[in-house]
Amino acid sequence: MRAKSSTLAALLHGFFLEWLGKQRNVSEKTVRAYRDTWKLFLRFVAKRHETMVARLRLEDLTEGLVLAFLQHLEQDRRSCIATRNCRLAALRSFFSYVADRDPMAAQQCAEVLRVPFKRGPKRAMAYLDGSEVAAIISQAKSSCSDGQRDHVLLSLLYNTGARIQEALDLRAKDCHLASPACVRLLGKGRKERIAPLWPETSKLLASFIQHNPRSAEDYLFQNRYRTKLTASGFRFRLRKYVNDAANKQPSLLQKRITPHTFRHTIAVHLVASGVDVTVIKSWLGHAHLDTTSIYAVANIETQRKALEQSVPKSQRSRVPIWKRDDDLLAWLDSL
């Protein structure tokens, strides 16, 4: 008979409060994501055992039920593979924690930890050209407060390559608008980075703050209720801007555009303008250079230049057509 081990409630309490909260010091967003996963999983297991969540034991959480839960997420809840893998990561993290603290549960934990992440189809990375960026940003009218806010936010996303949550977490104290202008972003893993601002973005931000005064601790981008703008709320508005901009730029209808698209876009444009990938790595706050290198692969401009070099000199145009576009050259010089 198996010796008595720690109760499930005690282990979950230690995992969330001691391990995640104090020892790992993970972000609140990660804690909430793990919490939501465990709420779903415990309810699922309780339903399978026809009992109450409060009566579940650690030994009830078997590998078979983990697999059944993952299948339930995909088939019944219509979760995508990425969501399925995120839920599994939350479960595996707990069982890894338990394996170190309850030797009697080591075999059970090992079985769960063997459940693999699922590979899913990878979408081609979407990014915008300069005219498409301008068309979208121009749809956010500066004549109204929400429009001015969105105009500044879109410009900031493109300038800094910030993730949407990084931008929405900005407070007034994080903005330094005196030369050299920059903002302080808090990224994944609580890593801070300083993102430089172009003069145009700095002026937009200064004007926005002047018309919308904020205390040092206030969030920069707020909704009509004076609380922090949510990512879902902004995505809804972005879809409207993209649809309106598609009247002038029909190519936008062929692309799936999210706030993250602006992050991809500035990275590709920086590669096209000759910025070293190690600089772009710091710009975007990537932990590994391999992550940044995908933008060099995606950059069609780089591929076009390589193709030009393969053409015999006798067949090359003295001045390539793309170099005759003064507006494009001026834009690249401004990066």
Identify whether 256 is a catalytic site residue: no
Catalytic, out of 84, 149, 163, 237? 163
Q: How far is CA 260 from CA 84, 135, 183, 286, in A?
A: 21, 17, 18, 14
CB 262 within 8 Å of CB 161? yes
Q: Which of 193, 263, 269, 281 is catalytic?
A: 263
The one catalytic residue in 149, 193, 237, 286 is 286
Any idea of the CA torsion for 274, 278, 284, 287, to the nearest 10 degrees?
Answer: 160
Given the residues 48, 171, 184, 260, the one annotated as active site: 260
To the query of whether residue 260 is one of the catalytic residues in this protein, the response is yes
- SS3 state at 222: strand
Active site residue 235: no
Annotation says 286 is catalytic: yes
Whether 49 is catalytic is no
Query: Of 34, 127, 158, 295, which residue is the catalytic one?
Result: 295
The token duo for 304 is 């076009």
Q: For this structure, is 163 an active site residue?
A: yes
DSSP H helical ranges for the chain = 8-13, 28-49, 63-75, 81-101, 106-113, 130-139, 145-160, 164-168, 199-211, 231-245, 259-272, 277-284, 289-298, 300-310, 326-334
Cβ atoms of residues 62 and 111 within 8 Å = yes
Reference 253, options 242, 264, 261; nearest CA is: 242
Catalytic hit among 92, 101, 184, 188: 188
* Catalytic positions, written as ranges: 163, 188, 260, 263, 286, 295
